[in-house]
Structure 1
Amino acid sequence: MIIAITAFALPKPITHGEARRIFLSTAPTYQDVPGLLRKHYILSEDGGTAGGVYLWNSRAEAQVLYTDAWRAFVREKYGTDPTVTYFDSPVMVDNVAQQVFTY
């Protein structure tokens, strides 16, 4: 499993409510994306940084999303350029399912 973390500094801080409204407006974009298992939108406590934590089947599938067009979409929506950092996730603890998974 691959985890991709995206982040971008916002031109001005936003509130939790503003973030929720903005994130909900883009959420449909990420539904039914091949290989994407889950996306968590994230906002720093001070409201100055936003991004996402994405769980992917593979890095190859993740890289299909993070194109120049995606970067332009983020730039247009939030007024800043995103970073993308990839991590391998060989073990996951799921407290809801009360299981430990290996990949």
Structure 2
Amino acid sequence: MITEIVSFDLPADMPRDTVLALFEKTVARWQDYPDLIRKQYLYDPATNRGGGIYLWTNRAAAEAAHDSAWCDMAETLYGSRPTFAYFETPLVVDNRACEILR
């Protein structure tokens, strides 16, 4: 598994309600990816940063989902181009589901 951390700067004057509404608009898109295990939305009003943490079955799927067209869309929607970090994820402890993902 691969954890992908995506982050971007938000406009300083963008209110929290607007950020959350923009996030909500993208939920359906992420439900259609068979290689996406989980996505968490991130928001930090103190630094005007947003983003997501994605758990993918593999890095190729992560990179395909966040291609240049997606980066263009994110820049238009949120006001800045996203950055990416990738980490091998050998184990996930999921307390809610009472399971360990390997």
Calculate the TM-score normalised by the size of structure 2.
Answer: 0.88
Give ranges in structure 2 of 5+ residues lacking alignment.
Answer: none
1:66 CA displacement: 1.4
Distance in 2, Cα, partners of 1:42 & 1:86: 16
Query: Retained in 2: the 8 A contact 1:4–1:85?
Result: yes
Distance in 2, Cα, partners of 1:97 & 1:16: 30
Partner of 1:96: 96
Distance in 1, Cα, partners of 2:25 & 2:94: 28
Partner of 1:36: 36
Q: Does 1:46 align with 2:46?
A: yes
Query: Retained in 2: the 8 A contact 1:71–1:81?
Result: yes
C-alpha change, 1:13 and 1:34, in structure 2 (3 Å) is: farther
1:17 CA displacement: 2.5
C-alpha change, 1:38 and 1:100, in structure 2 (3 Å) is: closer
Q: Does 1:7 align with 2:7?
A: yes
Distance in 1, Cα, partners of 2:49 & 2:76: 16
What is the SS of the residue equivalent to 2:52? strand
Q: Deviations over 1:22-73 (max 9, x none)?
A: 1101211212113111111110142600000111011111111111101000
Give ranges in structure 1 of 5+ residues lacking alignment.
Answer: none
Distance in 1, Cα, partners of 2:29 & 2:47: 23
Paired residue type of 2:34:
P
Query: Retained in 2: the 8 A contact 1:14–1:47?
Result: no
1:13 CA displacement: 5.0
Calculate the TM-score normalised by the size of structure 1.
Answer: 0.87
Distance in 1, Cα, partners of 2:37 & 2:14: 27
